[in-house]
Every structure is written in structure tokens, then in C-alpha cells.
């Protein structure tokens, strides 16, 4: 057989593939050699063999000489990806909670004394249960009362997005890419993270409260003081992953409310510039995923600005899939 069948090779490691192989010594129903297909994620490739892990976790070693054909295949459709963008955003509220919130139908007004755009904008997804112009007036009044600029978070391409833009609202962050909302299963991401993390990765501490060392690199949070702490520590369960003193790698992970099906949200993944390209970012995410699994989360999500191509490439390797994008809009000046 071809030692490197077309479509397969070391570039497929970490990718879902289907491999057709000969079963040596066995005869098929037509009298020729017996064959079978193996479907799963390729875990290794060397000069003579490859290994593929199926959905049940069984690893099959396949000699290259026995391979008849093979190719990468798309991931299985995920039930979690069928969740509507607005519902996903509402689930994510619990992982980044503003100290002050007010419902406006299905919309949520949020204020956090200026710490982060997300916690100081109205999540405009769904029916505000009021005429649109009246709902917008409520938004303006709420932020005026909190001495904050009015701002709306909208799912790109949604009806709310279109209505705000027709009303003259414009990008609150001119020149910046939209934010990508990605998600995957905790189990799949954990397997990928542990495979990609360096073998000698140090243990990372996970604390339930944010400390000065964890905040040391975050000028925005330090400037906002108590408001930042209220948002960061606000979820019912939250963990602050950190390595080193001073901290050289970190992440934050929080559970959403939902006893039957909690999600976890990962944010604030950071590695000191002097310690990058050592796998510490992957190690921090792996620790956050393990924390999530221990608390029963089956789905994990994160939000990354579209221009952060390095982070998006890493999350792609961990199995995250884009669910939707959102952006922030401000009233016309």
C-alpha cells in the first residue's frame, strides 16, 4: 500500500479522520482482503504507523502499509451549536455579571461603573416587550442615570442589530473587529489541551478570589478597583488560575447558573511576553477545563476579539467552534 495515502499525513494529527484499512490475514465477503473503517481523531503519525482515537476513547494503531484510503472529515454536528445566539448570550451573563442589572423584556441592562464594555452595555437580544423606540429611550435613560455612555451589545446580523443601525447607532469601537463567541464540549477541549500542553507543564493554582498578583498586569481592572473585583468575583462559582509569583500565566473560569446543565466560561487568558511559546497558555486553559469538569460543566465558551488571530488559532486547535459574533453599538453623536 501507499506509505502515505493521499489526504493523510502528519498534518492530520488532532483532526477528525476516517481511515479505510486492510485487516491482514482475513478475507472479505467477495473473497478479497477484508477491510474496515476507523473514524476518530488522529493522535499520532510516524514513519510506519498512525493512531486514531474513536468517540468511545479506544485508540487503534494502524500500519501505514495497511491503509487503503483516508481523509479528514468535519466534526460531528453538535447539539450545543443549535442554541440560538441570543440564548447563548443570556447564558453567558452569569459568567461576567454586572453588579447592577435591570430587565427590559428579554434585554438586560448592565452597569459596572465603567469596568468592561460587556458589563456596561445592554444585552439587546430578543423581545424588549416594548416598542423599539421606547426600549431605546429606556436604554438611554438607564445609562444616563448611571453616568455612563449608552451602549448596546448585539448579535451580528440579528434583527436587533439591524434595528439599532436603522436608528442611526454606530460602532462603539470603530476600526475593531467583532467579538467571536466560541464554544465546544468540556471533554473534547480537555483531551486536546492535555495533548497539546508540554509534558513538564507546572501545576497551576486555582483560587476562588482574585488576588493582587493575578491583577498585576491588568491596568484596566486596577483602575476600576472595586467595580472590577465585583465583576470578576461575581459568579456563584469562579476560579482564578495562576502560575508563578509574580504571575506569568493566568486564566479565569466561571460557571453559569443551571443545576441541570451548567456551562463554563473562560476569560482573561494571559501569558507574560517573556514566557510565551512554552505552552503555558494551553496549561492555563487545561486547568480551567479540569475545574469546569469537576463541577459538572459539559459546555465551555469563550469570547475573543476577531483581530486576536493567535488566540483564535489556539482555540481552534482545542476544538472550539465559532457560534456567532457580536459587536457594540453607540447612539449617533
Confidence (pLDDT) at 30: 78
pLDDT at 238 over 80: yes
β-pair type (321-330, 299-305): unpaired
Query: What single string gives the DSSP state of each residue in 79-129?
Result: GGGGS-HHHHHHHHGGGS--SEEEEETTEEEEE-TTS-SGGGSEE--S--S
Class of domain 179-323: alpha beta
pLDDT at 1 over 80: no
For the ranges 36-45, 218-227, 231-240, the lowest mean pLDDT is seen at: 36-45
End-to-end Cα distance, the chain: 68
> Higher model confidence: residue 239 or residue 77?
239
For the ranges 167-176, 197-206, 308-317, the lowest mean pLDDT is seen at: 197-206
- CATH number assigned to the domain with residue range 10-72, chosen from the 4 options 2.40.10.10, 2.30.30.100, 3.40.50.10860, 3.10.310.10: 2.30.30.100
pLDDT at 325 over 80: yes
pLDDT at 98 over 50: yes
C-alpha cell at 29: 465477503
Domain ranges of the chain: 10-72, 79-171, 179-323
pLDDT at 2 over 60: no
Amino acid at each position: 500500500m501507499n506509505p502515505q495515502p493521499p489526504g493523510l499525513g502528519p498534518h492530520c494529527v488532532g483532526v477528525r479522520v476516517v481511515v479505510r484499512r486492510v485487516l491482514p490475514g482475513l478475507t472479505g465477503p467477495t473473497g478479497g482482503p477484508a477491510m474496515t473503517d476507523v473514524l476518530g481523531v488522529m493522535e499520532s503519525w510516524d514513519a510506519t504507523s498512525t493512531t486514531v482515537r474513536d468517540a468511545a476513547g479506544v485508540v487503534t494503531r494502524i500500519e501505514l502499509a495497511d491503509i487503503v484510503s483516508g481523509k479528514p472529515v468535519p466534526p460531528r454536528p453538535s447539539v450545543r451549536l443549535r442554541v440560538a445566539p441570543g440564548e447563548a448570550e443570556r447564558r453567558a451573563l452569569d459568567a461576567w455579571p454586572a453588579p447592577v442589572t435591570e430587565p427590559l423584556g428579554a434585554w438586560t441592562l448592565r452597569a459596572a461603573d465603567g469596568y468592561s464594555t460587556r458589563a456596561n452595555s445592554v444585552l439587546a437580544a430578543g423581545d424588549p416587550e416594548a416598542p423599539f423606540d421606547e426600549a431605546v429611550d429606556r436604554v438611554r435613560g438607564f445609562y444616563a442615570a448611571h453616568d455612563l455612555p449608552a451602549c448596546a451589545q448585539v448579535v451580528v446580523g440579528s434583527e436587533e442589530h439591524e434595528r439599532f443601525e436603522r436608528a442611526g447607532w454606530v460602532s462603539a469601537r470603530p476600526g475593531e473587529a467583532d467579538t467571536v463567541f466560541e464554544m465546544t464540549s468540556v471533554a473534547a477541549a480537555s483531551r486536546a489541551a492535555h495533548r497539546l500542553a508540554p509534558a513538564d507543564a507546572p501545576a497551576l493554582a486555582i483560587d476562588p478570589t482574585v488576588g493582587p498578583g493575578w491583577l498585576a498586569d491588568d491596568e484596566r481592572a486596577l483602575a476600576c478597583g472595586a467595580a472590577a473585583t465585583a465583576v470578576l468575583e461575581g459568579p456563584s462559582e469562579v476560579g482564578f488560575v495562576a502560575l508563578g509569583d509574580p504571575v506569568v500565566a493566568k486564566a479565569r473560569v466561571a460557571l453559569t447558573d443551571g443545576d441541570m446543565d451548567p456551562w463554563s466560561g473562560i476569560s482573561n487568558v494571559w501569558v507574560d511576553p517573556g514566557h510565551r511559546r512554552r505552552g503555558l497558555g494551553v496549561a492555563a486553559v487545561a486547568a480551567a477545563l479540569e475545574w469546569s469538569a469537576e463541577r459538572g460543566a459539559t459546555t465551555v465558551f469563550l469570547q475573543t476579539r476577531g483581530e486576536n488571530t493567535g488566540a483564535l488559532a489556539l482555540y481552534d486547535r482545542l476544538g472550539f467552534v465559532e457560534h456567532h459574533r457580536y459587536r457594540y453599538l453607540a447612539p449617533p453623536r
